[in-house]
Amino acid sequence: MTISVLVVDDDTLVRAGLRMMIETQDDLVVTAEAANGSDAVALANALHPDVVLMDIRMPGTDGIEATRRIASAAVPGGAPEPPRVLILTTFEIDEYVYEAVRAGASGFLLKRTPPEELLAGIRTIAEGDALLSPSVTRRLMHEFARATATGRHATDVSNRDLSRLTDREREVLVHIGHGLANREIAKELNLGESTVKTHVKRILMKLALRDRVHAVVYAYETGLLTPGKESH
142: left (phi over 0), alpha (psi -120 to 50) or beta: alpha
Are residues 100 and 21 part of one domain? Answer: yes
Q: Which domain holds residue 51?
A: 3-131
Give the domain CATH number at 209.
Answer: 1.10.10.10
Instruction: Lay out the sheet containing 28-34: strands in order across.
Output: 28-34, 3-8, 51-54, 84-89, 107-110
104: left (phi over 0), alpha (psi -120 to 50) or beta: left
Q: Strand 28-34 and strand 84-89: pairing?
A: unpaired
Number of domains in the chain: 2
Question: For residue 95, what pLDDT band results from cuts at 50, 70 and 90?
Answer: low
pLDDT recorded at residue 232: 43
Is there a domain that residue 17 lies in?
yes
3-class SS of residue 85: strand
Beta-bridge partners for 121 = none
- Whether the per-residue pLDDT at 195 is higher than 80: the answer is yes
Are residues 169 and 79 part of one domain? Answer: no
pLDDT recorded at residue 22: 96
Q: What is the mean predicted confidence (pLDDT) over 140-154?
A: 57
Q: What is the mean predicted confidence (pLDDT) over 195-214?
A: 88
